[in-house]
């Protein structure tokens, strides 16, 4: 058990350390100026020095990203059910969900400020806009891929619409829905950070995006790297949480969450 | 349960000039007649894709004919209640235990929890799986899953049981054992059974009556009373009577096969 866990954790950890060592050496040997590319040791130092500011920013961004993600999960599944339930809903609504996917977030972020003011609301909405599409698409795909024989079985026993949805179609679609949620987790963080570029104040409640913008203007590249690194960690954490939920829900019955035994 | 008594009552299933054409012009059934008496065990024997499954879906009420009449239940009417259906594969809900899978039809009918659990346990015991009630389908063998599927069809105590090549995907030994079990179930219950198969041996072993169908569109080529004993075991397959019956059925299928080519 421990050996297996080590076999999983060790290779990426070693690769990470090796890459950083190479980076550190290269920066020192070629004497790269810190405002262009700071050495990992400098980034670490910046991280420690500004831990309080960065930590607070991480909480602010995390809060908005989580809110946007939960909104995506809820509304995305509901929209997916509506779209998969009737052809006319699909024809009426689907094109506009594609619009959500292709809309340039940076361009409409100012609009979100107009509508929702500054603060967490427009940032959460930005996170929602970029992360809802994969949830909708995967929910629709999952609901559409239900075994036709099982649909027949439920028809044979005259199951109600609600029984078909909650006892057959949604459970059968869960693996696909979780696949969508995983993608959405990473996107929600990206959406939140981009949203903050436009919609948050530089101040006590500045998020990671706002900090990154400030550091970039001030050429504090080491702090910028620290902020970006923390944003990635946030995405990873959200992704990990969704993966855990997926495993807990599916591992007993679905192949996607079972160890391959050969 | 004697087959003789059943044959006298009004038909449990009555098809008259049933026509079913699929989009694209594929004609599955072009005016088929068939009567199945209450309590009878009828095997529908025919090549793959001859319209046997279409016929079964019509009887189950899962599909509608474009022409003709499908009457199910005695007294004859368009009543589909009390029909059990077993598919080609088990088609269980993988997230539900054996017990919850078997209880599903009763759950959908709004039967209270305790009553449906009791009925499900009884049905599971009927197919010899009492020990596996709390397991998930993924932990079962193919033969066991098929038995769960049969238990699910039996749990509503249907008067008519429809089976669509249920054992076709199983190995021969498992299939023989399930054939024997199904035969026992029929003898004990007095259900009307319509069993679709493309296996001559299986049709002859199981049924009281074998209806041989032609390739699409399905016509009745032969309608044979089996005339084998009520209780049947593995050794029946080696008796001269059984061999003679399968020879006759093979001959019917072979002549038609060469004629249509």
For chain A, the structural domain boundaries read 59-139+173-248
Q: Which of A84-93, A159-168, B23-32, B164-173 has the highest mean pLDDT?
A: A159-168
What is the number of other CB atoms lying within 10 angstroms of the CB of residue B188? 10
Q: Looking at chain B, which residues constitute the CATH 3.40.50.300 domain(s)?
A: 33-82+161-261
- pLDDT, mean of residues B70-87: 69
C-alpha B261/C-alpha B258 separation (Å) is 5
Residue A18 in tokens: 């090796």
> Which of A149, A150, A252 has the CB atom closest to B136's CB atom?
A252
Cβ contact, residue pair A150, B91, below 8 Å: yes
Render pLDDT for B96-138 as a digit per residue (tens, 0 to 9): 999 999 999 999 999 999 999 999 999 999 888 999 999 999 9
pLDDT at position B76, please?
A: 44
pLDDT at position B80, please?
A: 46
Interface test with B, best of A147, A154, A157 (most B CBs within 10 A): A157
Checking DSSP bridges between strand B11-22 and strand B41-45, what pairing results, if any?
unpaired
The CA distance from B91 to the nearest CA of chain A, in Å, is: 6
Length reported for chain A: 262
Interface test with A, best of B53, B61, B64, B94 (most A CBs within 10 A): B94
| Cα–Cα nearest to B28, from B36, B20, B37 | B20
Residue of A nearest to B57 (CA): A152
Contacting residues of A for B53, CB less than 8 Å apart:
none
- pLDDT, mean of residues A179-194: 94
Contacting residues of B for A251, CB less than 8 Å apart:
none
What is the number of other CB atoms lying within 10 angstroms of the CB of residue B114? 8
Q: Which of A27-31, B4-8, B25-29 has the highest mean pLDDT?
A: A27-31
Q: How far is CA A57 from CA A52, A192, A208, A240, B157, in A?
A: 9, 12, 5, 20, 64
Cβ contact, residue pair B85, A156, below 8 Å: yes
For chain B, say whether A251 makes contact (Cβ under 8 Å): no
The CA distance from B14 to the nearest CA of chain A, in Å, is: 19
Cβ contact, residue pair A157, B105, below 8 Å: yes
> Which of A149, A155, A252 has the CB atom closest to B91's CB atom?
A149
Checking DSSP bridges between strand B11-22 and strand B67-72, what pairing results, if any?
antiparallel
- pLDDT, mean of residues A21-47: 92
Render pLDDT for B215-234 as a digit per residue (tens, 0 to 9): 888 888 888 888 887 788 88
Residue A23 in tokens: 């980076």
B33-82+161-261 — its CATH code? 3.40.50.300
Q: pLDDT at residue B81 above 60? A: no
Predicted TM-score (pTM) of the model is 0.84
């Amino acid at each position: 058990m421990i050996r297996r866990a080590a076999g999983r954790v060790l290779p990426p950890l070693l690769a990470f350390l090796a890459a950083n060592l190479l980076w550190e050496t290269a920066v020192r040997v070629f004497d790269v100026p810190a405002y262009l590319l700071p050495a990992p040791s400098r980034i670490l130092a910046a991280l420690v020095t500004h831990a309080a500011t960065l930590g607070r920013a991480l909480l602010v961004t995390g809060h908005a990203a989580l809110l946007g993600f939960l909104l995506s999960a809820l509304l995305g599944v509901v929209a997916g059910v509506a779209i998969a339930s009737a052809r006319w809903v699909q024809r009426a609504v689907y094109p506009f969900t594609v619009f959500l996917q292709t809309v340039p977030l940076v361009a409409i972020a100012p609009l979100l400020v107009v509508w929702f003011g500054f603060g967490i609301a427009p940032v959460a909405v930005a996170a929602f806009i970029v992360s809802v599409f994969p949830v909708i698409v995967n929910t629709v795909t999952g609901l559409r891929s239900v075994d036709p024989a099982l649909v027949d079985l439920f028809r044979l026993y005259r199951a109600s619409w609600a029984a078909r949805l909650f006892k057959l179609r949604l459970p059968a679609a869960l693996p696909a829905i979780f696949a969508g949620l995983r993608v959405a987790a990473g996107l929600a963080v990206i959406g939140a950070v981009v949203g903050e570029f436009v919609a948050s104040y530089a101040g006590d409640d500045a998020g990671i995006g706002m900090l990154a913008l400030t550091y970039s203007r001030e050429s504090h590249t080491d702090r910028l790297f620290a902020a970006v690194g923390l944003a990635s960690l946030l995405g990873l954490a959200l992704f990990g949480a969704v993966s855990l939920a997926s495993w807990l829900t599916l591992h007993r019955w679905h192949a996607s969450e079972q160890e391959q035994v050969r | 349960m004697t087959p003789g008594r059943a044959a006298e009552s009004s038909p449990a299933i009555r098809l008259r000039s049933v026509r079913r054409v699929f989009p694209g012009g594929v004609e599955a059934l072009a005016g088929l007649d068939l009567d199945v008496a209450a309590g009878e065990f009828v095997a529908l024997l025919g090549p793959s894709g001859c319209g046997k499954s279409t016929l079964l879906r019509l009887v189950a009420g899962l599909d509608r004919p474009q022409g003709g009449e499908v009457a199910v239940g005695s007294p004859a009417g368009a009543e589909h209640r009390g029909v059990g259906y077993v598919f080609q594969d088990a088609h269980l809900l993988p997230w539900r235990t054996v017990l919850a899978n078997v209880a599903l039809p009763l759950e959908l009918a709004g039967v209270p929890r305790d009553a449906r659990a009791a009925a499900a346990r009884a049905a599971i015991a009927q197919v010899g799986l009492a020990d596996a009630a709390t397991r998930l389908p993924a932990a079962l063998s193919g033969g066991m899953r098929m038995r769960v599927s049969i238990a699910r069809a039996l749990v509503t105590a249907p008067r008519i049981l429809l089976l669509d090549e249920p054992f076709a995907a199983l190995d021969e030994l498992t299939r023989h054992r399930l054939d024997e079990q199904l035969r026992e179930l029929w003898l004990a219950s007095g259900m009307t059974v319509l069993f679709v198969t493309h296996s001559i041996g299986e049709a002859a072993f199981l049924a009281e009556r074998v209806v041989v169908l032609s390739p699409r569109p399905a016509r009745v080529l032969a309608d044979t009373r089996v005339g084998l004993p009520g209780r049947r075991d593995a050794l029946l397959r080696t008796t001269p009577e059984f061999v003679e019956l399968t020879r006759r059925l093979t001959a019917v299928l072979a002549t038609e096969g060469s004629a249509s080519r």
